[in-house]
Structure 1
């Protein structure tokens, strides 16, 4: 969810209105890169892999290959600034935020600063995020820098004021790339959800066709629908897209299980979620602790386990969503509303 939105948000963030969009078209093919060709992977190919990995239903094969490329380059002392940015993107994707920060503070490009601001938000270091966003003002598109700043301010102190300001900026945006506008819309939807306004959140998101959307957009859409009690709608709309997915995102799976539990019509998604969470716990995969906590909060209600894993997650991630998750579990174990 939030971390998905704050991953590789878009890959041409610092370009102007005439920027070339870097996401591959539906006819593009991103290959799985064997070790024999890993040293030949270009920066653009790495960017394309990261961009494709944002989409609902993407597989992890290309990301694993890209991680292999980074390891080989490091062993060969051939990790330049561009591939250091790629490494930091992978680290953030894996929720290793401190390590991502260590890589990014050595870089000075606009896109690395934008990613660093995102990582600071993940770590709950909102003032650092805000200052990093401000450094983008003279180097990035106006909307990019301002969205970055308003996102940092909102995560530090959620307020309808920041949401309204960004809504006004989005309304007059005419010349930004599709990727930039999608990111801004995701940020607005996140803000609306945090303000307990799921109806407003849906106005910033794609309509019912979810096959070709990003994981972030699909997650935000499902959160809004669940908040409105539209459980059958989540299953009927998101279920077919999930069925086509080569691999299922943890957050999407948990929300399908949550919706299914409320309908009482089947147990398919609940069984899959139970298996996934059991695997995460067995592997001690604490980078997914937030998802484990949400499973015990929303699907298989267990207040103590939900609180435990929310605390585990808090050791690594302190963004607004992480804070809200921990607060919910505290209220659950103490019996407060």
Structure 2
């Protein structure tokens, strides 16, 4: 595949416990207003099975389970939005405890309100300093923001609170983002073998981190080995996107179309990250336009809404599917304003390189 910048930020700490802000009016596209009341801009299935549930009638355990399902295909927008409303109502009615604050921070993190999420997590940790999930989420958010020191400190705060494997996975993921990818991968692979996690959620999380590290080193075969025990039909979006990237790096575009396409088609709401992979695979096969057309419609909608939350996907679309260097660089810059991991930097560099190459071609034409 063309490079690690094309991949979603997926091997993150939030994969165990459950990344761009909507900026000012600076989009390439003007704000869009439907021309009539009959115009359909987008279709969404109403997934609400319990529209009359009040915040004081739902427990934190139920909200936590509800949020947990948001990581799976077709569920994110609906579930995180509803959970946010429930949590805000609870916090307005009573002084929030550590778990309420942690769950609220998860919602904010999903919506890329990173600074606000950190402040909420600091309150949660002050109430319960031993809360493993709060420290893990804090580490992840700092990592996405490119704050390596704070991310490492959050991982080390887990000493005495979590297992050696969990602490090491947290710290080594940070180290891998700080110029020690090969060493971090080797050490985490060794620890995974030594400690053999029995918790299925922890096992999936570490396998995902290992696969991401391997792919970033152009070791797609090793990445596939780390993912081979994952049941794709019940996997979260981030892991499905990673699996698709691994397959495409091995030129297995048909497998991406078949497997990811089947999963996406089961859900009325389509995730941008998966539609992007399908469009990229289809572009490489050059046999159909189904997924490219569908994602082009999604891109148009995102631009009309000035939706910078999906800036990374938009930049990748204009880099690798509908190649438009100016737009690719525009969205890569918006993504970089908030997300500053290695993949984000490479996405920005690739967009700049594409624009420069395009300008040189015009000068020599």
Alignment of 1:237-248 (within 5 A): 237-248=259-270
1:50 correspondence with 2:72: no
1:150 correspondence with 2:172: yes
TM-score by length of 1: 0.88
TM-score by length of 2: 0.82
Shift in Å, 1:237? 1.8
SS in structure 1 of the partner of residue 323 of structure 2? coil
Alignment of 1:227-266 (within 5 A): 227-266=249-288
Among 169, 191, 196, which residue is 1:174 paired with?
196
Shift in Å, 1:97? 1.4
Alignment of 1:138-287 (within 5 A): 138-206=160-228, 210-287=232-309
**Quick check: 1:11–1:47 contact (8 Å CA) kept in 2?**
no
Aligned to 1:22: none
Among 10, 21, 24, which residue is 2:16 paired with?
10
Shift in Å, 1:175? 4.3
**Quick check: 2:69–2:79 contact (8 Å CA) kept in 1?**
no
Distance (whole Å) between structure 2 residues aligned to residue 182 and residue 110 of structure 1: 18
1:85–1:306 distance in 2 versus 1, CA, 3 Å: same
Among 300, 303, 306, which residue is 2:322 paired with?
300
Aligned to 2:310: 288
Aligned to 2:348: 326
Shift in Å, 1:73? 2.1
Cα root mean square deviation, aligned: 2.1
Distance (whole Å) between structure 2 residues aligned to residue 121 and residue 90 of structure 1: 17
1:34 correspondence with 2:35: no
Distance (whole Å) between structure 2 residues aligned to residue 95 and residue 198 of structure 1: 29
Aligned to 1:85: 102
**Quick check: 1:154–1:162 contact (8 Å CA) kept in 2?**
yes
Highest RCO, 1 vs 2 (Cα 8 Å, sep ≥ 6): 2
Q: Structure 1, unaligned stretches of length 5 or more?
A: 13-29
Q: Structure 2, unaligned stretches of length 5 or more?
A: 1-6, 19-46, 359-365
Aligned to 1:21: none
SS in structure 1 of the partner of residue 355 of structure 2? helix
Pick the structure with greater CA Rg: 2
Shift in Å, 1:159? 2.3
Deviations 1:34-70 (A, max 9, x none): 3542222211111111221122343633332211102
**Quick check: 1:208–1:237 contact (8 Å CA) kept in 2?**
no
Aligned to 1:15: none
Shift in Å, 1:4? 4.4
Among 60, 68, 78, which residue is 1:61 paired with?
78
Shift in Å, 1:226? 1.2
Distance (whole Å) between structure 2 residues aligned to residue 175 and residue 211 of structure 1: 22
Deviations 1:228-264 (A, max 9, x none): 2211121112111111123221111001001111112
**Quick check: 1:158–1:195 contact (8 Å CA) kept in 2?**
no
1:138–1:33 distance in 2 versus 1, CA, 3 Å: farther
**Quick check: 1:8–1:50 contact (8 Å CA) kept in 2?**
no
1:299–1:222 distance in 2 versus 1, CA, 3 Å: same
1:236–1:96 distance in 2 versus 1, CA, 3 Å: same
Tell me the matched-pair count: 319
Shift in Å, 1:209? 5.3
